[in-house]
Amino acid sequence: MLEGVSVIAFDIDGTLYPSWALYVRVIPHFIRNLRFFLHYNKVRNILHRTAPLADFYEYQGRLLAEELHCTVARARALIRCIVYDGLKRHFKKVKPFKGMQETLAALKAAGYRIAILSDFPPAQKGDMWGILPLCELVLGSEELGALKPSKYPFGVMAQLLEVKPSEILYVGNSKRCDVRGANNAGMKSAYILPWWRQVLHRPYKEADICFATYRQLQNIVLQ
């Protein structure tokens, strides 16, 4: 058991499932909407550096409207249609990482509280491969007003769980958003290693825990 940790929180995209499993399914959708996605990615990069917003969706729409030279209403409708709704159906065929559900169940059985914090709407993933009953709290950072690596969504998560940030281990696949974001918020971090780091045996030193498989994460946490 990890000393001082009572909550283990997880990112979703690229953490609960491999990113490539989604990418290969959305290639036709991406190509059909290539111009949109090029501008949308620019907007998201800005939002990852933006302070907490009173209305995240309005500001996101305004940024995209400037890029596409359209109205804010049109930009917001495109985001909803192409990103939120447009990608939703693909998750039904995406399989999670091997052992993910079993690991979360084992952590829950061992007494850890389980939470989710994702930059994209968790509801987009449906029943999230059956793990929702294990989760005490499920949050989307967009609804909170700021994307990771801002400390704000991490702080809100800790506040809602009524624990100190130091009592949370945050698990993710992004060095900047998940590891550094969690560490800067006063939390511990666990980093799921990309394949090339596994092959080269190169852990990421800023993370408190590095792991290649969910069985390995389970063993590290419960040893």
* pLDDT score, position 223: 86
Give per-residue burial for 98-107: e unless 16+ CB within 10 Å, then b.
eebbebbbbb
User: What separation, in Å, do the N-terminal and C-terminal C-alpha atoms of the chain show?
Assistant: 6
Look at residue 1 and tell me whether its pLDDT is greater than 80: no
pLDDT in tens, 172-210: 999 999 999 999 999 999 999 999 999 999 999 999 999
Q: What is the pTM of this model?
A: 0.96
Average pLDDT over residues 56-68: 98
Q: How confident is the model at residue 22 (pLDDT cuts 50, 70, 90)?
A: very high
Strand partners, 139: 117
List, in order, residues 6 or more apart from 144 with CB less than 8 Å away. Answer: 52, 56, 152, 153, 156
- At 203 the three-state DSSP class reads coil
pLDDT in tens, 64-109: 999 999 999 999 999 999 999 999 999 989 999 999 999 999 999 9
List, in order, residues 6 or more apart from 135 with CB less than 8 Å away. Answer: 114, 115, 116, 128
- At 160 the three-state DSSP class reads helix
Assigned token pair, 110: 């061992």
Q: Which amino acid is at 135?
A: C
Angle between helix axes 34-47 and 19-32 (nearest 10 degrees) is: 120
Strand partners, 168: 7
Rounded to whole angstroms, the Cα distance separating 174 from 187 reads: 15
